[in-house]
Amino acid sequence: MYGCVGKPICCPPQYCVRDYYTQRIVPVIHPIVNINRQNIVDVPQHYYQTTTRNVVVDQGFQADFGRFGYTGYTGGRLF
């Protein structure tokens, strides 16, 4: 009973893997381009040109009735 009975059975090996991680720096370059733009915008600037005209108005003969106490025209004869 204590003796070997035929060939031994050999099973495939089982693996127990322990992963360890070590950091390694890999540079990643992000190029940035700064653009300074000058935009030209038309802005109206108003200029005013003034002109002076001398106009003569001839009203004919006008009696100054205010001196005599007359304040308005009644549509009839004045005197």
Q: How many helices (H) and strands (E) does the chain have?
A: 0, 0
Query: Mean pLDDT throughout 67-78?
Result: 57
Q: Which residue has the higher pLDDT, 30 or 56?
A: 30
Chain segment 4-22, per-residue pLDDT in tens: 667 888 899 999 999 999 9
Query: Which backbone phi and psi does 65 adopt, to 5 degrees?
Result: -80, -10
